[in-house]
Chain A
């Protein structure tokens, strides 16, 4: 159930008086049962050398500070081939297709939430 620590096992017990009681034990599933296509993530990169790294700024305050420094480190210390920078028009909505397309082809993408 929501809010419970998954490592904690709570004993709810069983009501022995319910055994054999005549009440419906079938329920209509109220949960989401929509089938979704599962994508397999690509294999983890072994190193960053010669790779193209996408940096996605979700447009929150300070995101550029974090990504500027990250870009510098990627270029100076990890010899990446290129860095692709793009930004969501608003952090409050999923990235539009045009932003996703800009990141297509990158070997890995790092997203800055910031604040």
Chain B
């Protein structure tokens, strides 16, 4: 295997050092090799036969292709599905085709390294209270536990990776989240060392390009990443999913949600008085983590719906507004319960705008029971919500400038209870349903999302 680098020696060697490459790398000054293979993009991959003929070529990055090539060479898969890297990326134009070559001497930015530099040591001036120092220097406006070397060593007992390994680069400043830096923020948040099992895949997931945390962290909107925990890990690490599912009831929920926010602040750099421009913010930016009450969910757990085995623990991230409550105590049929929820769903983002965002419905166990008792599946409930959530056409009369009014030509007209309406969501899949909360109380919640789909943010689920 030979790597060909179009960069200069300094950048190439740095890249090799950080990736700890074991294969030979050849520089291509003047791009003679690049031209010989007539490539258009980097990265490009050529599989050569013993006679030097090109057996196969591929441009850009694609996990399926890499694994196919590995299989062709008799190797096990080389690209993991849930390592935080996207499934595929088109790559960039090759340097030898760039119209401007006069700045070729500028070193290329180093990307893709596996190891970062060790964290520096901060010395607190003599006599200063470490808690007060940390309060003022790091964090979220609440006291944090000082990240001493001893506490971090203890936290690292929960991780099997090397402390300088880079788990992800956290947008919007693309700070390197090494295992050690993640552990430091976990200490500050009050996590137990076992929580590193969840935190490492969580940091990968939050940096998954589909979630688009860059946009979520920089937007003026309310969005904050909501963590949903599923599977056996809920009980192993004592996540709360019964009463007060969204509240301050369990150390696991509170500290995991807080650790993620501290990582986004301290490593990602989206300070709430700086790059994070949210107009009103979101109380979830202190901590926003729930677990599904699978024991009270009459249907399959959420992570099973997302393609995982029931015994596989998983985490899901959704760019979410704060929960909006629906109190419905007297409805006795699925239709009536879901109708109450659909009226709340119709107001997501803003009443008149349809198709813009997705939503999460958090059903209380009592509401889920009412729907299930009548023989409804979760998918039926979802389709009912889809078909019954809309905005009446009359809402647009006399409001030509209102948000949504100028986009009605893109909306789908439907009849809801005889009323001509525009359908609120793009598809039933835009509405996700989970079950959480105490077994007493007929309260559910609707949580609006941010800009939906590939142009905004997509929900991601990662195994733990």
Where the two chains meet, the residues of A that have a C-beta atom closer than 8 Å to any C-beta of B are: 1-4, 12, 14-16, 18-20, 23-34, 36-37, 61, 89-90, 92-94, 97, 104
Q: How large is the interface on B (under 10, 10 to 19, 20 to 34, 35 or more residues)?
A: 35 or more
CB of A93 within 8 A of CB of B212, answer: yes
CB of B109 within 8 A of CB of A27, answer: no
Stretch in contact with the other chain, from B112-120, B330-338, B364-372 = B112-120
Q: List 27 A-B contacts (CB under 8 A).
A: A1-B136, A2-B141, A15-B127, A15-B132, A18-B127, A24-B148, A25-B130, A26-B123, A27-B121, A27-B134, A27-B146, A28-B122, A28-B147, A29-B120, A29-B184, A30-B181, A30-B266, A30-B267, A31-B266, A32-B173, A32-B181, A32-B266, A33-B176, A36-B173, A90-B451, A92-B215, A93-B212
Bound-complex Cα distance A110 to B121 (A): 42
The 8 A CB mask of B275-289 against A (1 = contact, 0 = none) is 000000000000000
Cβ-closest chain A residue relative to B146? A27
A93/B455 contact (C-beta < 8 A), A14-B128, A31-B266, A104-B100 known: yes
CB of B130 within 8 A of CB of A27, answer: yes
Where the two chains meet, the residues of B that have a C-beta atom closer than 8 Å to any C-beta of A are: 92-93, 100, 107, 109, 116-117, 119-130, 132, 134-141, 146-150, 152, 169-170, 173-176, 180-181, 184-185, 187-188, 212, 214-215, 219, 262, 265-269, 271-273, 403, 406, 450-451, 455-457
CB of B149 within 8 A of CB of A24, answer: yes
Report the 6 A-B pairs with minimum CB-CB distance, sorted nearest first: A32-B175, A30-B184, A90-B455, A19-B127, A25-B124, A92-B215
* B457 contacts across to A, CB distance below 8 A: 92
A80 to chain B, nearest CB (A): 22
Bound-complex Cα distance A49 to B91 (A): 38
Cβ-closest chain A residue relative to B271? A2
CB of A28 within 8 A of CB of B180, answer: yes
Which of A25, A28, A92 has the most C-beta atoms of chain B within 10 angstroms of its own C-beta?
Answer: A28
A33/B120 contact (C-beta < 8 A), A24-B149, A92-B215 known: yes
Bound-complex Cα distance A1 to B144 (A): 13
A27/B122 contact (C-beta < 8 A), A1-B135, A12-B136 known: yes
CB of A1 within 8 A of CB of B455, answer: no
CB of A19 within 8 A of CB of B456, answer: no
Bound-complex Cα distance A2 to B281 (A): 13
Bound-complex Cα distance A3 to B451 (A): 27
Identify A28's interface contact among B135, B148, B170, B403, CB under 8 A.
B148
CB of A26 within 8 A of CB of B136, answer: no
Which of A26, A89, A104 has the most C-beta atoms of chain B within 10 angstroms of its own C-beta?
Answer: A26
* B181 contacts across to A, CB distance below 8 A: 30, 32
B248 to chain A, nearest CB (A): 21
* A1 contacts across to B, CB distance below 8 A: 135-137, 139, 141
CB of B126 within 8 A of CB of A19, answer: yes
Identify A94's interface contact among B109, B132, B147, B214, CB under 8 A.
B214
* A28 contacts across to B, CB distance below 8 A: 119, 121-122, 147-149, 152, 180, 184
Bound-complex Cα distance A34 to B109 (A): 12
* A33 contacts across to B, CB distance below 8 A: 117, 119-120, 175-176
* A18 contacts across to B, CB distance below 8 A: 127-129
Which of B127, B137, B148 has the most C-beta atoms of chain A within 10 angstroms of its own C-beta?
Answer: B127
* A12 contacts across to B, CB distance below 8 A: 132, 136
A2/B140 contact (C-beta < 8 A), A27-B134, A104-B100 known: yes
